[in-house]
């Protein structure tokens, strides 16, 4: 029997409690064996400057160090050029052919999936777990789910998770403005940001 592995992708610039709560809810609701935090190196859809790989890696490790079923992967950091999710999932399936992967995303990303690189192949490589939040109606979510299932034979499941109104962008803005980010990020991540003087200029 293979494992059931959740994948949390994103830039994690920085990682925050919303990411951690989403991962934990997916772990519980879908009886996953592990959730891997897999940061993007050079995602094609992000135009802002992204913090260095090592800074983001260290913050993820600090944020997840006390959770035995959270882990970190530097797979996308190891590849050159633009990183595409479909290539990452193809590589993971190649390395772990007996395991089943569940890519965890928010509702906003769910509605943009068809714009991701090579969606047809992507849906063959992984199932998707979609957090039903961000103000989208259930009818809209179900309609889009049916469309993707019919067009791509996609495997999609919905996750009931709390709506955490926190974004990495808002955290960077608070740091830039000299405001507190306590409770937005784990304490260790807050101290790391202060110690390394991160986000003190526009990104």
In angstroms, rounded to a whole number, what is the distance separating the alpha carbons of residues 133 and 116? 21
| Residue 144 falls inside a structural domain | yes
| Residue 181 falls inside a structural domain | no
Q: Which of 38, 122, 44 is nearest to 82 (CA)?
A: 44
| Residue 180 falls inside a structural domain | no
| Residue 176 falls inside a structural domain | no
| Residue 58 falls inside a structural domain | yes
| Residue 182 falls inside a structural domain | no
| Residue 96 falls inside a structural domain | yes
Tens digit of each residue's pLDDT (9 = 90 or more) over 11-69: 999 999 999 999 999 999 999 999 999 999 866 555 456 899 999 999 999 999 999 99
pTM to 2 decimal places:
0.93
Number of domains in the chain: 1
In angstroms, rounded to a whole number, what is the distance separating the alpha carbons of residues 161 and 10? 18
Which range scores top for mean pLDDT: 48-52, 78-82, 107-111? 107-111
Tens digit of each residue's pLDDT (9 = 90 or more) over 155-168: 999 998 877 789 99
| Residue 9 falls inside a structural domain | yes
Domain of residue 126 covers 4-164
Tens digit of each residue's pLDDT (9 = 90 or more) over 140-152: 999 999 999 999 9
Q: What is the structure's pLDDT at 1?
A: 78
Residue 146 is part of a domain; what is its CATH number? 3.40.50.620
| Contact in structure between 110 and 141 (CB atoms under 8 Å) | yes
* Cβ burial, residue 138 (10 Å; 0-12/13-18/19+): exposed
Tokens of 60: 């993820």
């Amino acid at each position: 029997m293979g494992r059931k592995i959740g994948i949390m992708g994103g830039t994690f610039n920085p990682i925050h409690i919303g990411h951690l709560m989403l991962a934990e809810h997916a772990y519980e609701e879908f009886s996953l064996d592990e959730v891997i935090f897999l940061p993007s190196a050079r995602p094609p859809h992000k135009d802002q400057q992204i913090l260095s790989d090592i800074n983001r890696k260290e913050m993820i490790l600090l944020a997840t160090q006390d959770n035995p079923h959270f882990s970190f992967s530097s797979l996308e950091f190891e590849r050159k050029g633009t990183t595409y999710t479909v290539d990452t999932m193809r590589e993971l399936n190649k390395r772990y052919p007996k395991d089943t992967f569940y890519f965890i995303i928010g509702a906003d990303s769910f509605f943009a999936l068809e714009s991701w690189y090579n969606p047809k192949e992507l849906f063959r490589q992984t199932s998707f777990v979609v957090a039903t939040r961000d103000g989208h109606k259930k009818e809209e979510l179900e309609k889009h789910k049916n469309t993707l299932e019919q067009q791509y034979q996609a495997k999609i499941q919905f996750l009931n998770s709390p709506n955490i109104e926190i974004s990495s962008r808002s955290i960077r803005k608070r740091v830039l403005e000299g405001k507190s980010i306590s409770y937005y990020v784990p304490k260790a991540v807050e101290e790391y940001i202060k110690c390394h003087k991160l986000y003190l200029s526009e990104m």
